[in-house]
């Protein structure tokens, strides 16, 4: 099946060695093999000979990008064979797309099929039958540049083909081996080093030139112009070209314009450039090297020329921005190292950059690494871990305990690790397969430098039908080092439990098979997750997000209290989304639920953590899944916040906010220039495609001397079947690094999709918002009902006045009455039998002295309770916003006395039994224990023993009659048609007072006392009513008389008219 390439084929020695290695390995083993060759050393020739001369069957070649696929097809059809002077072998070479797979498979003349990682993954996921037909059709798989992310996704598709596989790469890395289970690198890896390629004059050597001055773009262009004028004739190629690397599209535009103005023939390439910009030297697609219309010597780009441009005239690389990833830097340098047959002897390629970028040190580190092939194998890190364990004694006293050395070989019998009940919970779909999860999780761990411990390096150390456990060591570099390395090793664990319809995952390092979870599981939704904090829990912590997608609001808040259920609700709660909550239960302990991310954590003491074994964790995971499945009702507290609703079939977004400030993130352009966000909110516009929308956010570079604006456009698509919005690139994006994850770089698009709790989308109509993959409805009814529930209708006699009529007051003054007038609110408040005070008040003060803190102050020192009581009557209009405004204003003004405030009520001096209210016989100190202080001393006692006490109970009480009818308010809440301006004002007045009282820890109660008009007002009302009746009758009679006269008047004839 595999034969050696004939000697007549003109190949380099190392190319033939690579082919011989491949043929020998493919004949003897089904395990994948890897060929490492630097850029410019003929990887394409190895692929061409292997697929068209060595292997007799049909081969599938997979490349990272469409442009590399196109180039590969051209090279295999003609370019390579012409270059070596060999006739083209028989067999057609065809590109593969989902749309032409049937035609390609039916064509018996096709010898080599070329596709991309993305195409293969799409066919695998979307067209499984076609994927099976493709697998049956081919016998060999060749992966070009097999280090591209997301490797788990395309790696799964390649492995699913089940064919012999050859990987080729230019930049060595141990994870190239892990993905395809290459367990013995000495047998399965061929390496041709950079040092060998240089020594054999296969590629050029590299020199470095520092650009003086700052990293200012204009200065860089001027200095590069000087360098080019002085050095380009000494470069290897007779007509040399240079590649200039810039951090973003706008910088490319400016660099092309500046370099052109300096007299250099320059073009720029970027995905954002339009077709009509070619006149200015700006191209969207890379021009072909043989295009005679393109005579530019300087080619400027961001990432389009990293690979696939095999032009030996390129012999200079200039960095106008930092390249953060060293593998990308090596790939970029590789573009300038390809030799030609006619170049200048002993000339070197040159890399030009500012000194600050320290690229020469990075290049030398790569050269040192690349020479030692053992460093590029997964066994190296495993040896480090094994070596560390061997240095430990078999037993020792460590951190207060006698401990035995960890035993990796015994994990299958005794995992030895504790599994913390801190998990991600997902709902599995009908397509979920636990075995697939195990395979993909293993790949994910391997690609993140996890050293899986136990006997199986490529699988869990323990597993059953419904659970799997991986124990692994995670090696990272010290956070204190930028260019040097110092290993830091942590022992980690990943445990997955399948319980019914739920997948419960614990991973101590956050490693997850994201692609599989997205395809075969779903979020539970906030309403379901919050079942884990039911009515048994006392909720102590709640984190909320604002549902108003503007920059002018407080984006989020964390609320904390002994029992948040005891704190009054507010109308503003109904525009808050509950992001997370923590509660305490007698039976379940302390539990945290993060609604946006599906996270659940059981807080444990140190003693509990030490005994939380695998079996304990499995039992806990089963119990949590059971609660979710049983549909347990959530805690009533969550009803005060916005509620989730069913995702609509059509969601039309209008505004969006992204909260990038919540987490410690480092944002930069894909070229590595740091940026900061300028506006967190933006308007959304519809695109021409259904369910597709666009928005733009402004960022600026972090350079304080020369900040530059960068507009980042995002495409947002609504997926009705999944009930979610999903971001897609719509131009240049940004890279995101999170604190604590220095080696993990994600695009802004990827980060937002994975962390949708950071986004808030307002929908058309304003009645619905989207956050954390849930839709929420704006509904104030619950909060308004909660406000109205603070209003009671006490069983007391009807009242007509606040303090009494003027006649009653005159009589009380004359007689020095010791009781308040009958029918007054004051009398009802003062009588203990009315129960308007919610405790047995041993102190009752009438503070109605013209400058009062309240109409009444009630207190009890023993139970540490105090109430400020305010009274007000209306005029029998049921709802009187004006009267209610007066009493609320008084209560708001005097709430300060119930806080830790040095002021005292101005009337406190009059709180004495010998002082009387309104010149009557009613003492201002109505009730007090024997020996109780009076006046200022009484206030000091109330303040020190009650108000400033940690366990005091504080109240503000409004006692009303004739202005706050609870029946009318309930009608207004339940029926929008019954709502009037007066009811709306009253509710907002009550909300304002409730909110202020809540901040001070003061309870609010409103008593709606039955109202009865006084005799005088009732008589006056009857007189007024009679007058209106008479006026109406007179008006009716006058109208009738006029009608009668008109009917008797003679009519004019038509002729007289």
Q: What is the 3-state secondary structure (H, E, C) of 270-281?
A: CCCCCHHHHHHC
Torsion on CA atoms 47, 52, 54, 56, rounded to nearest 10: 130
Decide if 74 contacts 126 (C-beta within 8 A).
no
Bridge partners for 225 per DSSP:
none
Q: Does residue 1003 register a pLDDT over 50?
A: yes
176 lies in some domain? yes
d(CA 332, CA 243): 9
End-to-end CA distance of the chain: 117
- Is the domain of 414 the same as that of 346? no
| Whether residue 795 sits in one domain with residue 943 | yes
- Higher-pLDDT residue of 681 and 172 is 681
* Residues 384-402: tens digit of each pLDDT: 899 999 999 999 998 888 9
Q: Are residues 242 and 175 in the same domain?
A: no
CA distance 456 to 451: 11
Q: Enter the pTM of the model.
A: 0.76
Percent of the chain with pLDDT over 90: 52
Q: Report how far residue 826's alpha carbon sits from residue 844's, in angstroms, rounded to the nearest whole number.
A: 12
Within this chain, do residues 292 and 185 fall inside the same structural domain, yes or no? no
Residue 256 has pLDDT above 70, yes or no: yes
In 10 A of CB 425, how many CB atoms?
25
**What distance in Å separates the CA atoms of residue 578 and residue 557, rounded to the nearest whole number?**
10
- Please name the residue that has the structure tokens 């020369």: 706
Task: Please check the confidence at residue 263 and state whether its pLDDT lies above 80.
Answer: yes
- Domain end point (choices 348, 375, 402): 375
Q: Which residues, other chains included, contact 736 with Cβ-Cβ below 8 Å and sequence gap of 6+?
A: 665, 666, 667, 745, 746, 747, 748, 750, 751
**Please, which pLDDT band fits residue 1055 given cuts at 50, 70 and 90?**
very low
What pLDDT, on a 0 to 100 scale, did the predictor assign at position 834?
82
Which two tokens mark 624? 């949590």
Stronger pLDDT, 1047 or 1027, i.e. the higher one: 1027
pLDDT band at 483 (very low <50, low <70, confident <90, very high): confident
pLDDT band at 370 (very low <50, low <70, confident <90, very high): confident
Question: Considering the chain, what is the average pLDDT of its residues?
Answer: 88
How high is the pLDDT of residue 1049?
A: 60
Q: The domain that contains 56 carries what CATH number?
A: 3.40.50.10810
Residues 708 and 846 in one domain: no
Residue 932 has pLDDT above 70, yes or no: yes
Residue 884 resides in a domain? yes
Question: According to the model, what pLDDT value does residue 203 have?
Answer: 93
Domain identity same for 894 and 916: yes
Q: What is the per-residue burial (b if ≥16 Cβ within 10 Å, else e) of 862-886? A: eebbbbbbbbbbbebebbbbebbee
pLDDT of residue 522 exceeding 80: yes
Q: What is the pLDDT of residue 449?
A: 77
Res 1056 pLDDT > 60: no
- Describe the crossing of helices 128-137 and 151-161 by its angle, rounded to 10 degrees: 60
Looking at 355, 375, 395, the residue that finishes a domain is 375
User: Are both 729 and 593 inside the same structural domain?
Assistant: no
Q: Clarify whether residues 936 and 864 are in a common domain.
A: yes
Question: What would the pLDDT profile of 608-667 be if each residue is shown by its tens digit?
Answer: 888 899 999 999 999 999 999 988 888 999 988 988 999 999 999 999 999 988 778 888
pLDDT score for 874? 85
pLDDT of 708 strictly over 90: no
Query: What's the pLDDT at 73?
Result: 94
- Domain boundary (375, 408, 439) is at 375
Tell me the pLDDT band of 150, cut-offs 50, 70 and 90. very low
Rounded-to-integer distance, Cα 617 and Cα 608, Å: 12
**pLDDT of residue 149 exceeding 60:** no
Alpha-carbon distance 884 to 985, whole Å? 9
| 806 lies in the same domain as 948 | yes
Check if the beta carbon of residue 101 is closer than 8 Å to that of residue 123. Answer: yes
The answer as to whether 240 is a domain residue is yes
56 and 140 assigned to the same domain: yes
The pLDDT of residue 782: 77
**313 located within any domain:** yes
| Nearest CA among 44, 74, 232 for reference residue 144 | 44
Is residue 81 within a helix (H) or strand (E), and if so which, with residue range?
Answer: helix 80-84
Residue 483 phi/psi, 5-degree rounding, is -110, -15
User: Residue 1057: which pLDDT band, with cuts at 50, 70 and 90?
Assistant: very low
* DSSP summary character for residue 861: T
Residues 890/1025, Cβ–Cβ less than 8 Å: no
762 vs 757: CA distance, rounded Å: 14
736 and 601: one domain? no
Paired tokens of 95: 């590109």
Domain assignment of residue 798, yes or no: yes
Task: Provide mean pLDDT across the span 1007-1021.
Answer: 77
pLDDT the model gives residue 1022: 63
Token pair in block for residue 759 = 């986004």
Q: Which domain holds residue 816?
A: 786-1012
In a domain, 827, yes or no: yes
Query: How many residues belong to the chain?
Result: 1057
Pairing verdict, β 395-398 and 401-404: antiparallel
In a domain, 633, yes or no: no
986: confidence class by pLDDT, cuts 50, 70, 90? confident
Comparing 378-382, 624-628, 824-828, which segment has the lowest mean pLDDT? 378-382
Q: How many whole angstroms separate alpha carbon 1006 and alpha carbon 969?
A: 13
Same domain, 46 and 168: yes
Q: In degrees rounded to 5, what are phi and psi of residue 1044?
A: -65, -40
- HSE-up (13 A, CA, CB side) for residue 441: 30
Helices and strands per DSSP (H, E), number in the chain? 30, 49
The string over 48-79, giving b where at least 16 C-beta atoms fall within 10 Å of a residue's C-beta and e elsewhere, is bbbbbbbbeebbbbbbbbebbbebbbebbbee
Q: What is the rounded distance in angstroms from the CA atom of residue 415 to the CA atom of residue 1003?
A: 53
> Given this model, what pLDDT does residue 151 score?
63
Number of domains in the chain: 7
Residue 204 · residue 236 · CB < 8 Å: yes
Q: What is the predicted pLDDT for the residue at 1020?
A: 64
114 against 739, higher pLDDT: 114
Q: Cα dist. 214→121, 209, 827 in Å? A: 45, 15, 83
Q: Does a structural domain hold residue 731? A: yes
Q: Do the beta carbons of residue 144 and residue 72 sit within 8 Å? A: yes
How does residue 1054 score in pLDDT terms, banded at 50, 70 and 90?
very low
Complete edge-to-edge strand list for the sheet that includes strand 759-763: 643-645, 774-777, 768-771, 759-763, 653-658, 681-683
Question: Residue 756 carries which DSSP code?
Answer: G
Distance CA 542, CA 598 (A): 15
Q: Encode pLDDT of 560-602 as tens digits.
A: 999 999 888 887 888 889 999 999 999 999 999 998 888 999 9
Half-sphere exposure of 830 (CA within 13 A, CB side): 25
Question: In the predicted model, is pLDDT for residue 901 greater than 70?
Answer: yes
Burial of 760 (0-12, 13-18, 19+ CB in 10 A): buried
pLDDT at 746: 83
CB 115 within 8 A of CB 95: yes
pLDDT in tens, 410-465: 998 999 999 999 999 999 999 999 999 998 898 888 877 788 998 888 889 999 99
């Amino acid at each position: 099946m595999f034969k050696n390439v004939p000697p007549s084929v003109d190949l380099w020695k190392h190319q033939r060695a690579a082919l011989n290695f491949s043929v020998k390995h493919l004949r003897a083993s089904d395990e994948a093999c890897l060929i490492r060759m630097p850029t410019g050393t003929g990887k394409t020739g190895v692929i061409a000979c292997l697929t068209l001369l060595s292997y007799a069957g049909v081969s599938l070649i997979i490349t990272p990008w469409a442009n590399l696929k196109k180039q590969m097809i051209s090279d295999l059809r003609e370019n390579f064979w012409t270059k070596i002077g060999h006739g083209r072998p028989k067999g057609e070479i065809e590109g593969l797309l989902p749309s032409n797979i049937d035609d390609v498979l039916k064509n018996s003349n096709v010898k080599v099929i070329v596709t991309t990682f993305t195409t293969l993954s799409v066919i695998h996921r979307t067209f499984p039958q076609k994927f099976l037909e493709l697998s049956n059709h081919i016998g060999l798989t060749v992966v070009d540049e097999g280090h591209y992310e997301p490797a788990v996704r395309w790696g799964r598709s390649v492995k699913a083909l089940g064919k012999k596989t050859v990987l080729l790469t230019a930049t060595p890395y141990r994870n190239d081996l892990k993905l395809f289970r290459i367990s013995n690198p000495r047998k399965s890896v061929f390496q041709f080093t950079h040092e060998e390629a240089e020594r054999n004059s296969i590629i050029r050597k590299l020199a470095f030139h520092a650009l003086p001055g700052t990293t200012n773009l204009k200065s860089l262009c001027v200095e590069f112009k000087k360098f080019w004028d002085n050095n380009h004739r000494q470069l290897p190629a007779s007509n040399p070209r240079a590649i200039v690397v810039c951090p973003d599209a706008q910088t490319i535009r400016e660099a092309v314009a500046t370099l052109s103005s300096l007299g250099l023939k320059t073009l720029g390439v970027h995905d954002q450039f339009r077709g009509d910009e070619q006149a200015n030297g700006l191209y969207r697609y890379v021009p072909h090297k043989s295009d005679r219309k393109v005579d530019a010597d300087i080619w400027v780009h961001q990432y389009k020329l990293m690979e696939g441009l095999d032009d030996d005239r390129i012999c200079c690389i200039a960095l106008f921005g930092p390249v953060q990833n060293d593998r990308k830097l090596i790939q970029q340098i590789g573009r300038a190292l390809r030799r030609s047959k006619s170049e200048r002897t002993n000339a070197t390629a040159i890399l030009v950059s500012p000194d600050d970028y320290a690229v020469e040190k990075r290049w030398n580190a790569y050269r040192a690494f690349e020479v030692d092939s053992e460093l590029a194998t997964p066994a190296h890190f495993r040896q480090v871990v094994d070596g560390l364990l061997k240095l430990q004694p078999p037993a020792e006293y460590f951190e207060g305990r006698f401990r035995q050395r960890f035993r990796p070989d015994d994990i299958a019998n005794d995992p030895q690790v504790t599994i913390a009940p801190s998990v991600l919970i997902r709902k599995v779909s009908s397509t979920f397969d636990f075995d697939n999860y195990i395979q993909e999780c293993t790949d994910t761990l391997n690609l993140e430098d996890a050293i899986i411990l136990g006997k199986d390096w490529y699988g869990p150390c323990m597993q059953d039908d419904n659970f799997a456990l991986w124990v692994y060591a995670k090696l990272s570099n010290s956070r204190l080092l930028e260019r040097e390395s110092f290993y830091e090793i942590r022992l980690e664990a990943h445990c997955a439990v399948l319980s019914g319809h739920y997948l419960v995952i614990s991973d101590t390092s956050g490693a997850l098979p994201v692609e599989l979870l997205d395809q075969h599981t779903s979020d539970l939704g906030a309403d379901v997750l919050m079942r884990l904090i039911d009515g048994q829990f006392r909720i102590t912590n709640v984190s909320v997000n604002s549902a108003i997608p503007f920059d002018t609001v407080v984006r989020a808040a964390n609320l904390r209290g002994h029992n948040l259920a005891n704190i009054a609700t507010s109308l503003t709660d109904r525009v808050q989304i509950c992001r997370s909550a923590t509660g305490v239960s007698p039976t379940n302990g302390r539990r945290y639920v993060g609604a946006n991310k599906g996270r659940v954590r059981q807080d444990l003491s140190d003693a509990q953590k030490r005994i939380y074994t695998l079996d304990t964790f499995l039992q806990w995971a089963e119990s949590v899944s059971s609660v979710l499945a049983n549909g347990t009702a959530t805690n009533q507290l969550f009803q005060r916040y916005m509620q989730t609703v069913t995702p609509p079939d059509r969601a039309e977004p209008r505004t969006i906010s992204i909260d990038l400030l919540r987490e410690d993130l480092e944002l930069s352009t894909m070229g590595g220039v740091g940026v900061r966000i300028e506006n967190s909110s933006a308007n959304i516009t519809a695109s021409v495609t259904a369910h597709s929308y666009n928005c733009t956010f402004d960022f600026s570079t972090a350079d304080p001397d020369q900040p530059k604006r960068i507009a980042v456009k995002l495409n947002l698509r609504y997926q009705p079947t999944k009930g979610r919005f999903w971001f897609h690139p719509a131009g240049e994006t940004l890279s995101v690094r999170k604190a604590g994850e220095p080696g993990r770089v994600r695009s802004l698009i990827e980060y937002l999709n994975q962390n949708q709790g950071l986004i808030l989308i307002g929908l058309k109509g304003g009645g619905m918002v989207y956050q954390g993959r849930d839709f929420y409805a704006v509904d104030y009814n619950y909060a308004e009902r909660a406000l109205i529930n603070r209003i009671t209708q006490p069983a007391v006699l009807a009242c007509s006045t606040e303090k009494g009529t003027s006649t009653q007051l005159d009589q009380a003054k004359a007689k020095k009455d010791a009781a308040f007038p009958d029918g007054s609110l004051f009398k009802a408040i003062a009588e203990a039998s009315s129960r308007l005070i919610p405790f047995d008040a041993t102190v009752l003060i009438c503070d109605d002295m013209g400058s009062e803190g309240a109409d009444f102050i009630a207190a009890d020192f023993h139970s540490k309770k105090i109430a400020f009581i305010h009274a007000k009557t209306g005029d029998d209009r049921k709802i009187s916003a004006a009267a209610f405004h007066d009493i609320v204003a008084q209560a708001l003004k005097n709430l300060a006395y119930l806080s830790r405030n040095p002021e005292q009520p101005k009337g406190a001096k009059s709180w004495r039994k010998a002082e009387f209210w309104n010149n009557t016989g009613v003492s201002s100190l109505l009730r007090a224990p024997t020996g109780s202080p009076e006046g200022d001393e009484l206030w000091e006692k109330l303040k020190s023993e009650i108000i400033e006490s940690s366990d005091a109970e504080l109240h503000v009480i409004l006692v009303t009659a004739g202005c706050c009818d609870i029946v009318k308010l309930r009608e207004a809440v339940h029926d929008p048609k019954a709502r009037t301006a007066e009811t709306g004002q009253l509710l907002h007045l009550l909300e304002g007072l409730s909110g202020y009282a809540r901040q001070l820890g003061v309870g609010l109660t409103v008593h709606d006392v039955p109202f009865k008009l006084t005799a005088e007002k009732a008589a006056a009302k009857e007189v007024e009513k009679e007058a209106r009746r008479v006026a109406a009758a007179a008006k009716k009679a006058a109208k009738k008389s006029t009608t009668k006269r008109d009917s008797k008047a003679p009519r004019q004839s038509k002729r007289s008219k």
